[in-house]
């Protein structure tokens, strides 16, 4: 249990299991709690489900809940490690892009739940990654795969051998959008991540990423 009080569900479970040894009753509760956790996450990953099916997603989430039990009473961020779990899952052999797809879907989910950071007046002539953005780097055509899962592209239009895509998930004016980053745009973000100056980057590229609100004044 994550709190000090007994939940109505737990009380009901215990009442229904009178005569069952206490260790078995506790196992029943743990199993039900795990299934509840897995069920609460199942709707977060529709693109993954489109590729591997609901049965697989349900099973993988149940395994995840055992391997990564909640650490906090608040479950708001629970599920953020699912991609890491899939990195080492047997599914990665047959669906190697599954973990990256989950990273993309989790970024979407996360930004749908947070309050948008309001831009402030810059104090200096420097740039930073938009705090309302999440960058997902992949060696697979990630945005194209996501578009196939959502019916925006036909499956035959995408091949995983066609190369990687870096994707930015952006919250702007209350709406979440996805953009594929060009190599030059990815380079700008690499420089910022390394805390290097971007003044030597062409003004055209800087203008492009700032207009897209990928970067904002620091």
pLDDT digits (tens, 9 = 90+) for 52-106: 999 999 999 999 999 999 888 778 889 999 999 999 998 888 899 999 999 999 9
Burial of 178 (0-12, 13-18, 19+ CB in 10 A): middle
**4 — pLDDT class (breaks 50, 70, 90):** very low
Whole-model pTM: value is 0.82
pLDDT in tens, 153-170: 999 999 999 999 999 999
Calculate the CA 101 to chain-centre distance. Answer: 8
Instruction: Give CA torsion, residues 116, 118, 123, 129, to 10 deg.
Output: 30
- Across the range 95-122, mean pLDDT stands at 91
Distance in angstroms (rounded) separating the CA atoms of residues 206 and 90: 41
| Amino acid 1: pLDDT | 32
Over residues 127-136, the pLDDT tens digits come to 889 999 999 9
Q: Which domains does the chain have, with CATH numbers?
A: 9-99 (no CATH), 114-218 (3.90.930)
């Amino acid at each position: 249990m994550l709190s000090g009080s007994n939940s109505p569900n737990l009380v009901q479970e215990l009442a229904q299991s009178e005569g069952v040894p206490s260790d078995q009753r506790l196992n029943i509760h743990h199993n039900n709690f795990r299934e509840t956790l897995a069920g609460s996450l199942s709707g977060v990953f529709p693109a993954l489900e489109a590729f591997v099916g609901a049965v697989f997603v349900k099973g993988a989430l149940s395994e995840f809940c055992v391997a990564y039990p909640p650490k906090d009473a608040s479950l708001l961020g629970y599920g953020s490690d699912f991609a890491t779990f899939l990195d080492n899952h047997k599914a990665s052999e047959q669906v190697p892009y599954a973990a990256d797809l989950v990273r993309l879907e989790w970024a979407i989910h996360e930004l749908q739940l947070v309050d948008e950071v309001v831009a402030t007046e810059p104090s200096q002539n420097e740039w930073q990654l938009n705090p309302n953005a999440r960058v997902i780097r992949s060696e697979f055509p990630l945005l194209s795969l996501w578009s196939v899962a959502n019916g925006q592209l036909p499956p035959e239009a995408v091949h995983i051998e066609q190369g990687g895509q870096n994707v930015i998930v952006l919250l702007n004016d209350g709406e979440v959008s996805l953009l594929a980053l060009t190599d030059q745009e990815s380079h700008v973000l690499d420089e910022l991540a390394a805390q290097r100056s971007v003044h030597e980057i062409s003004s055209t590229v800087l203008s492009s990423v700032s207009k897209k609100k990928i970067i904002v004044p620091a």
